[in-house]
């Protein structure tokens, strides 16, 4: 190695840190940091408010444009959202805002500032960080006061469920006598008061199917019959077994779901149970779907292909996304031409996607492969709604497509599936109910999911308790 070569390499090694710093500096923004503070209570639309006893909570999620205006940086570019929160604590005691129940992955001000640092000049970083600190929602809410601020959350498209929980300090509710080694003594019983406020907050971007939901005009000019319990059962049994293609000729996926409840309560319950809204099929959403499929990435609000009932495609769809576009639970819902106890009735189809395949029958040239055990997806929805306390009554009714594991049925894209042929019927509760207060419709008995997909060989994992066995 010559001296000249050695000297150049040594010079490069010494200069490398400087070159990196220059490169990073070239990427940093030179735009001035100029936030234009909004007055949320006056300038934000879609503010939702709820009151429990003497406490009132208001929430709104800033759009990406509103966040850019208010904070002077682009939160959306860093996959962040700003939730505005206002709490009017009219009680005589202080309250605590439990941030983790809102979102375990919320971003404290300093962490958010670091993520946004590249969008402001170095000289403005301190001002940005302090502004985010000052505008953060406080955890301690003083009595007889109104506290407002922002919480920085991971960005979600379409909307999200906001679960606000406030707790009091422990307070004395009585005393009881207890025994100890030294004898008996009085023990004070303490209790913490919890207040819960739930909001389903939509975030329309113009491409979500729920944005076109207009139930007042779905059956305009028609007088819909209002059914009692037995008439509802008969009407549900007489519905078609399956959705169809646009021509109404070929059977698609089975209609295995019925939900009774007004559209607002329906969207709230499903959103709170972790279901996401879906994009309509557009050139942009199809391109994004194909890109996600090729890269094996997530697309939590991916469009759902159109199936038909009542001579129209689904009124809207929702999904529970996983880490990849190839895996998700999804459901389609159609408003039925009748009501039950003056409430809307939604007929639906639910299944679990477990893969993607090419298909000329799809506008995106790709389609999802469904899990053949469709009853398991039906049960998944029931359990998620029960866990959230959104069910007043539930049961099962005949009418869906029955098919055995050894002789399955097929949907439009030739995916096999098997089912007991039952439809899950859920009557939603407007207020959260514990499981002890949920009632059964006592119509039909469904098969046991998982077991119906097994063979006799699986019976060895179930055995009676032997005499003397503990």
From first to last of the 470 residues of the chain, give the pLDDT tens digit.
444 443 444 544 454 544 444 444 444 555 788 999 999 889 988 899 999 999 999 999 999 999 999 999 999 999 999 999 999 999 999 999 999 989 989 999 999 999 999 999 999 999 999 999 999 999 999 999 999 999 999 988 888 889 999 999 866 555 555 555 555 655 566 677 899 998 888 887 778 888 888 999 999 999 999 999 999 999 999 999 999 999 999 999 999 999 999 998 898 888 888 888 888 888 888 888 888 878 887 888 888 889 999 999 999 999 887 777 777 888 999 999 999 999 999 999 999 888 777 666 665 556 778 889 999 999 999 999 999 899 999 999 999 999 999 999 999 988 999 999 999 999 999 888 999 999 999 999 999 888 888 999 999 999 899 887 76
pLDDT of residue 408: 95
Residue 358 domain flag = yes
Domain boundary among 174, 200, 226: 200
Domain end residue (candidates: 200, 235, 256): 200
Per-residue pLDDT at 324 = 74
Question: Tokens 């922002």 map to which residue?
Answer: 150
Same domain flag for 423 and 451: yes
Domain assignment present for residue 294? The answer is yes
Sort strands 312-313 and 308-309 into parallel, antiparallel or unpaired: antiparallel
Structure tokens at 70: 């208010």
* Residue-number span of the structural domain to which 179 is assigned: 40-200
- Counting the structural domains of the chain, the total is 2
User: Is the same domain home to 298 and 437?
Assistant: yes
Q: Where are the alpha helices (DSSP H) in 84-175?
A: 99-102, 109-116, 125-135
Answer yes or no: do 144 and 271 share one domain: no
Q: Are residues 337 and 283 in the same domain?
A: yes
Question: Residue 174: what pLDDT?
Answer: 56
Asked whether the beta carbons of 62 and 81 are under 8 A apart, the reply is yes
The gap between the terminal CA atoms of the chain, to the nearest Å, is 79
Is residue 17, in this structure, part of any structural domain at all? Answer: no
Statement to judge: residues 165 and 231 lie in one domain: no
Does 219 lie in the same domain as 158?
no
Q: Is residue 8 part of a domain?
A: no
Give which of 427, 426, 422 is closest to 445, Cα–Cα. 422
From residue 249, alpha-carbon distances to 240, 274, 362, 418 in Å are 12, 34, 17, 21
Strands (E), 204-294: 226-227, 242-244, 251-254, 257-260, 276-277
- Structure confidence at residue 184 (pLDDT): 60
Last residue of a domain, one of 169, 200, 231: 200
**Predicted confidence (pLDDT) per residue in 81-106, tens digit:** 999 999 999 999 999 999 998 998 99
Same structural domain, 166 and 208: no
Q: Which helix (H) or strand (E) holds 286?
A: helix 283-295
- Supply the pLDDT for residue 77: 94
Cβ contact 207:279 at 8 Å: yes
**Cα–Cα distance between 65 and 59 in angstroms, integer?**
18
């Amino acid at each position: 190695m010559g001296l000249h070569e050695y000297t150049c390499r040594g010079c490069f090694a010494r200069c490398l840190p400087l070159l990196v710093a220059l490169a990073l500096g070239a990427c940093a923004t030179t735009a001035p940091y100029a936030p234009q503070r909004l007055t949320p209570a006056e300038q934000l639309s879609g503010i939702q408010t709820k009151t429990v006893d003497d406490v009132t909570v208001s929430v709104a999620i800033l759009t990406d444009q509103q966040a850019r205006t208010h904070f002077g940086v682009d939160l959306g570019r860093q996959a962040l959202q700003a939730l505005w929160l206002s709490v009017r604590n009219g009680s005589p005691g202080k309250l605590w805002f439990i941030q983790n129940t809102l979102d375990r992955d919320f971003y404290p001000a300093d962490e958010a500032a670091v993520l946004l640092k590249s969008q402001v000049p170095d000289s403005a970083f301190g001002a940005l960080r302090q502004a985010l600190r000052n505008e953060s929602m406080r955890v301690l809410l003083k009595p007889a006061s109104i506290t407002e601020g922002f919480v920085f959350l991971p960005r979600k498209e379409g909307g999200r469920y906001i679960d606000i929980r406030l707790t009091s300090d422990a307070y004395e509710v009585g005393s009881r006598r207890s025994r100890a080694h030294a004898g008996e003594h009085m023990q004070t019983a303490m209790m913490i008061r919890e207040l819960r406020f739930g909001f389903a907050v939509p975030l329309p971007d113009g491409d979500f199917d729920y944005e076109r939901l207009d139930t007042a005009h779905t059956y305009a000019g028609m007088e819909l019959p209002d059914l009692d319990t037995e008439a509802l059962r008969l009407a549900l049994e007489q519905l078609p077994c399956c959705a169809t293609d646009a021509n109404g000729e070929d059977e698609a996926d089975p209609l295995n779901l019925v939900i009774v409840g007004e559209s607002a309560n329906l969207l709230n319950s499903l959103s709170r149970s972790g279901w996401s809204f879906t994009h309509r099929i557009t050139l942009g959403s199809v391109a994004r779907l194909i890109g996600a499929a090729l890269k094996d990435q997530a697309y939590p609000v991916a469009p759902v292909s159109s199936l038909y009932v009542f001579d129209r495609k689904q009124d809207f769809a929702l999904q529970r996304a996983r880490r990849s576009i190839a895996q998700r639970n999804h459901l389609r819902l159609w408003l039925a031409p009748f009501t039950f106890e003056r409430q809307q009735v939604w007929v639906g189809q639910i299944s679990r996607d477990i893969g993607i395949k090419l298909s000329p029958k799809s506008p995106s040239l790709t389609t999802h492969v469904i899990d053949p055990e469709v009853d398991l997806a039906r049960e998944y929805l029931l359990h998620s709604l029960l866990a959230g306390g959104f069910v007043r009554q539930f049961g099962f009714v005949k009418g869906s497509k029955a098919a055995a594991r050894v002789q399955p049925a097929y949907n439009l894209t030739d995916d096999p599936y098997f089912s007991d042929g039952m439809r899950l019927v859920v009557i939603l509760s407007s207020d959260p109910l514990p499981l002890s207060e949920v009632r059964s419709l006592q119509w039909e008995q469904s098969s046991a999911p998982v077991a119906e997909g097994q063979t006799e060989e699986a019976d060895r994992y179930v055995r009676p308790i032997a005499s003397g066995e503990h």
